[in-house]
Structure 1
């Protein structure tokens, strides 16, 4: 049984605690902490866990085997570094840290430790539809991939959402997904600005993010965060010999009276509920089997931060911005895991 300490009991923290106590196997919530001590106490009581005074004490708790960081983004670096120093595996919700320099400090600490401890919460890699799409690409069924068209649409965003959030909080999921999908680094970014939607107020919305991979695949990402009608995630890959696209998996499609209709998820939790379940279960299973995580690494968190920064610079300047990353440490040179077979039986917007 893996005893997990949870730092942060906001929306995603509470959802992960529910997941670990009601859905997943081989795991127990042992300790909980939050800046709101009364909230942490209530959540801990419901989970049968201990309420700790702060995140550091969760990490230091001898009854905690691994740590789940779900706190405010600017605190991620300190907690992940503390977990590495304690030699404990740590699952960190995105971002790994709020700057690429901070991400590199995490990478350096893990390299000095000598083995992987960190996994970053990029759940697209665990979604059945994305895994099926990667299987098609890896098998060469459509020939060499040439382009990918993506859309990331939210019905609305909160008032504190900032212009750069479209890149750093929203499109960052596509950034990580693209690196994983094509087993390649992103080498440049550009942002195009169309006519502004009246639904976005003073926010420049939508945006078109253009990414170039080292292998020559071009990816466009439509970022629309005030579309009102629902949460809509799309992806289609053009290959030399065909195309492959995300399907509306798990949704009922109705054909009637000369029309085609299907429900649209209301938010990211509904669309990726199963992916979050698979993500954490595979983390738990990997720690039980090998003592180390196998999912998105600290290096992946760093790479996403670097590409996000390039995207923000492209948004500000209107220019093509090259992506320049540090040399990848040997620790992260292991071949990327292949997409697993799909089992058909079974704080800001994401």
Structure 2
């Protein structure tokens, strides 16, 4: 008979289902789970502050480039590299692959003959599908590449294909090159932007995690940081576009180094961490019940005050930039 446990999930993204997600899916094989307002263990994310209502052990998970709130979280699953036993490295793109049980697509190799067919099928040059206008590096590179050869923009931002596309997957699949720019560059922060582009069987133009080459095979995509200038990168893109054999060689490469899935794509390892957190939490005083709760709440009040006071915000930016 499985032990019972009361869980809750707060401050997650819109549409997140507390009863049907990666964490409950993994834990359901070992626990009889009830979603409750008085949980034994709380999962929380970065889209609100409802977690402050709970004094039980808390685990922080984020899909954004946000660090762990150390005074609020007893455990965390994030993109951060840490030697702490209470933190698990798990880049955002991994969530979907484990939840949908589709990690096998990331190790499926493309043969030379298949790559040749892909080259023939992809009759468009390059594309991007973006609605967020805040990617400064991405936006500048789009303008520079688009000035040399038209880049199809299928999102809401800088759309030049007659409106936002209805199917990103189908649209991207027509193009030989795909923008895969993260909104920010930070070690370990890798989202679905890179893996979606790789799954499309095109060549991603990637900007983001400076350590991406520690796991992903850099022969399979073009890394912005590997070029001395944007013009050098653009020249290389256009050279490959005119060279079928060079293109085939790149998309025939494995996605990961030696075609080995990284450890964080092993659901058993994530499950082991979750079970350890739950067991360990029975012997701790949760941070929600200690002085760290007051420190965290005070910091939140200060941060809100800074955001609401333009003069104070401007002064701090000038003083500490």
TM-score range, shorter-chain basis? 0.3 to 0.5
Instruction: Return the structure number with greater strand share.
Output: 1
Greater RCO (CA < 8 Å, at least 6 residues apart)? 1
Give me the TM-score of the superposition, normalised by structure 2. 0.35
Q: What TM-score comes out, normalization by structure 1 length? A: 0.33
Rg larger in structure: 2
